[in-house]
C-alpha cells in the first residue's frame, strides 16, 4: 500500500485525522497526485529534527 492509499484508508476511518506528508517531491507534485487536504501538512526532505518537531507541534496545536 502506498502512503497515499494508507492516508485515504485512515481518513475513511477518522475523517478529521491530521497528517504530515514526508516526501522528497515538491508539494505541487504531491497535490497533483491527489492529496490536497485541509488536514495535511507537507514536510520536504531533507529536514532537521527541529523542523519535524515544529511541524508536529504546529499541526497538533492547530484548530483544524
30-42: per-residue pLDDT in tens?
778 777 666 788 8
Domain boundaries, the chain: 3-61
The DSSP H or E segment spanning 20 is strand 19-23
Question: Could you tell me the pLDDT band of residue 64, with boundaries at 50, 70 and 90?
Answer: low
Question: pTM of the full predicted structure?
Answer: 0.72
Strand partners, 44: 23
Q: Which residues of 39-59 are buried (b: 16+ CB within 10 A; e: fewer)?
A: ebbbbeeeeeeeeeeebeeeb
Q: What is the mean pLDDT of the chain?
A: 85
Per-residue pLDDT, 49? 97
For the cut 80, the answer to whether the pLDDT of residue 5 exceeds it is: yes
Q: Would you state the cell numbers that stand for residue 32, as one nine-digit string?
A: 497533483
Amino acid at each position: 500500500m502506498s502512503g497515499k492509499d494508507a492516508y485515504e484508508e485512515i481518513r475513511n476511518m477518522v475523517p478529521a485525522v491530521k497528517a504530515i506528508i514526508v516526501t522528497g517531491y515538491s508539494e505541487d507534485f504531491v497535490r497533483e497526485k491527489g492529496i490536497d487536504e485541509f488536514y495535511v501538512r507537507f514536510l520536504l526532505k531533507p529536514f532537521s529534527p527541529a523542523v519535524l518537531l515544529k511541524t508536529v507541534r504546529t499541526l497538533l496545536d492547530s484548530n483544524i
